[in-house]
Amino acid sequence: MRLKDYDNDDGKRVWLSDDELTRLIEQAETPHQRLAFLLAGRVGLRRSEIIKVCPQDLVDGPTGDHIRVWESYAKRDKYREPPVPKEVVTIAETLAYQQDDDEPLLDVAGSTVYRWVRRAADALEEETGDRGWQYLDVHDLRRTWGTYLLEQGVIPSVVMSFGGWEDWDTFRKHYLGEFSPEAIRRERGKVDFLEGGDEEAEVVHPGTLTPTVSQHSVN
């Protein structure tokens, strides 16, 4: 886990390792909770978007399974299509078995998703003794997802498209200039007097990649 202070707010930004994210997802007590955790940490959805996903938003095309995330669910006039893992499709199909295609899969408020994440994080803090879990918010799962995609070599402009970011400068500041716990471990392994890490692994600093994009806010 990696923590960083906010510029002007209390609390801290959190980046989970892939193992920590998996452990959080495993804390889900119901299929609804698991789906919410996956939509945040494996698909990059915002809390307000998670609670609006309907069965009809999941689509299968030539590039695999995607989810249509609408900027306005009422107008449905602008959207993005981040890819989704098979588990998301499987859970969604199970939950959608006895409901209409245009009904949200998670019939809860955004504050409920927040409480689910906090309850899981509290359980992991008690289990691991790592006080960093107390800072975890739903948005940190999206933050972890975006950084992970960049470090896996996904082109920044594609990550921006998947995540709905339009302002290149802000995206570069908050994502290209940050690292996951895995990247820190790999870089540490290159230093001969520091024990641990993977000395053979190489990581490319995502900040060296500079696509051209235009403006809007990053969150």
CATH of the domain at 131: 1.10.443.10
Report which of residues 8 and 197 the model is more confident about.
Answer: 8
Residue 213 lies in a domain: no
- Domain holding 69, by residue range, is 2-208
Q: How many domains does the chain have?
A: 1
Residue 214 lies in a domain: no
60, β-bridge pairs: 65
The tens digit of pLDDT for each residue in 134-172 reads 999 999 999 999 999 999 999 999 999 999 998 998 888
For residue 28, the number of C-alpha atoms closer than 13 Å in the C-beta half-sphere is 18
| pLDDT score of 219 | 63
Percent of the chain's residues with pLDDT above 90: 65
- Average the pLDDT over each of 3-17, 22-36, 68-82, 193-207 and give the range with the smallest value: 193-207
Band (pLDDT 50/70/90 cuts) for residue 218 is low
Residues sharing a CB contact under 8 Å with residue 38, sequence separation 6 or more, in sequence order:
25, 85, 87, 88, 91
Residue 57 lies in a domain: yes
DSSP H helix total and E strand total for the chain: 9, 6
- Average the pLDDT over each of 23-27, 89-93, 105-109, 192-196 and give the range with the smallest value: 192-196
Can you tell me the distance from the alpha carbon of 144 to that of 195, in angstroms, rounded to the nearest whole number? 25
- Average the pLDDT over each of 1-5, 7-11, 54-58 and give the range with the smallest value: 7-11
For residue 111, the number of C-alpha atoms closer than 13 Å in the C-beta half-sphere is 0
Residue 217 lies in a domain: no
Residue 218 lies in a domain: no
Residue 215 lies in a domain: no
